[in-house]
Amino acid sequence: MIPAPVRYARAADVHDALVLLAEPDARPLAGGQSLLPVMKLRIVRPSLVVDISRLDLRGVHIHNGELHLGALTTWDDLLRVEELRRPALSAITECAAAIGDLQVRNRGTVGGSIVHADPASDIPAVLLALRAAVKLRSPNGDRVIPLANFLVGPFTTALGAQELVTGIVLPIPEQGSGSAYVSLEHPASGFAVAGAAVLVGPSEERVIALTGLTGTAFVLPEGVDPARALESTEIFGDRFASTAYRRRLAVVLVERALERAARRAEEDR
Ligand code: FAD
């Protein structure tokens, strides 16, 4: 499929990108791994694509006990950061390694993934389990909102018009924590049929987040048995995996992720 005619502009900096995005049907282009396919299918028909891929929004750093991921950080970038190998953050690299193929991991970005908000995408569950928030910039200024509030529904977020995701921020879990991401990949796309991300804290407290089951990734209520919580969750089914199969799969993935995260937490004590 060939996309509809579209104009292209490369933004020089974030301010320039926001000015260009004032055009009503303009769209930012990061790695293009999700935007170009939907343009080719003509599901999305922007009048202007604003290339933000070279903006200074790429990289990982730790500051004041927080981990900051630039919006343009690619999956491959994440795999090269030594600090992300610590037990509490291992879910991030585990997830990045499972995404797509080499080309997708080289081009696809964290920011692009959360804005595209595919219900089967992997990283939202991991970032929810790690209590991440989204950093946004528009001509009105900067704002930071919890990822759980940013993800509104399938392919829908709280991103405003003329607004850019500049990054993700999350608190570094305390010493003695471990995280893990376990998914069943769809054999054709690699996206998650279901995926479970878990953070286990030093006193066994845990956060469990799931993807691939509902319109958007979500966190299971605290202190409730995961199997019981999933019984009352409205889970979708399709020709690849029925609702009943996905529900059972999710329970198994949660168990595996909990086991792995607890082992990592133990190693960190
Ligand atoms: P783009 O395609 O450039 O943009 C996506 C959307 O986000 C667009 O609407 C764009 O306007 C908007 N956008 C991008 N950046 C910003 C920003 N900073 N601020 C505001 N809006 C922005 N994903 C998985 O989770 N798991 C997989 O297994 C997986 N497999 C894949 C396999 C293939 C073959 C392909 C093509 C993709 C796959 N993906 C998978 C998707 C991949 O992870 C993409 O990287 C990601 O979904 C989008 O990132 P991108 O940088 O390419 O975004």
State pLDDT tens for residues 177-232: 999 999 999 988 889 999 999 999 999 899 999 999 999 999 999 989 999 999 99
- DSSP letter for each residue of 223-255: TS-HHHHHHTS-----SSS-HHHHHHHHHHHHH
Task: Quote the ligand 1 centre to 263 CA distance (angstroms).
Answer: 32
Mean pLDDT of the chain: 96
SS3 (DSSP) at 148: helix
CA distance 161 to 268: 43
Residue (of 194, 198, 195) closest to 182 by Cα position: 195
Phi, psi of 152 (to 5 degrees): -95, -40
| pLDDT bucket at 39, cuts 50 / 70 / 90 | very high
pLDDT for res 165 = 98
Do 77 and 59 touch, CB atoms closer than 8 A? yes
Render the burial of 177-190: b for 16+ CB within 10 Å, e for the rest: bbbbbbbbbeeeee
Ligand 1: which of 58, 113, 164, 182 to mutate, judged by most atoms within 8 Å of the beta carbon? 113
Whether 88 is in the pocket of ligand 1, judged by its Cβ within 6 Å, is no
Whether 165 is in the pocket of ligand 1, judged by its Cβ within 6 Å, is yes
Task: Quote the ligand 1 centre to 239 CA distance (angstroms).
Answer: 24
| pLDDT bucket at 269, cuts 50 / 70 / 90 | confident
pLDDT for res 16 = 98
Atom of ligand 1 at shortest distance to CA of 159?
20
**pLDDT tens-digit map of 133-178:** 999 999 999 999 999 999 999 999 999 999 999 999 999 999 999 9
Task: Quote the ligand 1 centre to 205 CA distance (angstroms).
Answer: 32
Ligand 1: which of 76, 115, 165 to mutate, judged by most atoms within 8 Å of the beta carbon? 115
Task: Quote the ligand 1 centre to 182 CA distance (angstroms).
Answer: 20
Task: Quote the ligand 1 centre to 112 CA distance (angstroms).
Answer: 4
| Structure-token match 């320039």, residue found | 16
Q: In this model, does residue 42 exceed pLDDT 90?
A: yes
Q: Which amino acid is at 240?
A: F
CA dihedral 125, 191, 86, 55 (to 10 degrees): -90
pLDDT for res 189 = 83
Q: Which amino acid is at 8?
A: Y
Q: Which two tokens stand for residue 168?
A: 């993700």
pLDDT for res 190 = 85
pTM (two decimals)? 0.97
**pLDDT tens-digit map of 92-132:** 999 999 999 999 999 999 999 999 999 999 999 999 999 99
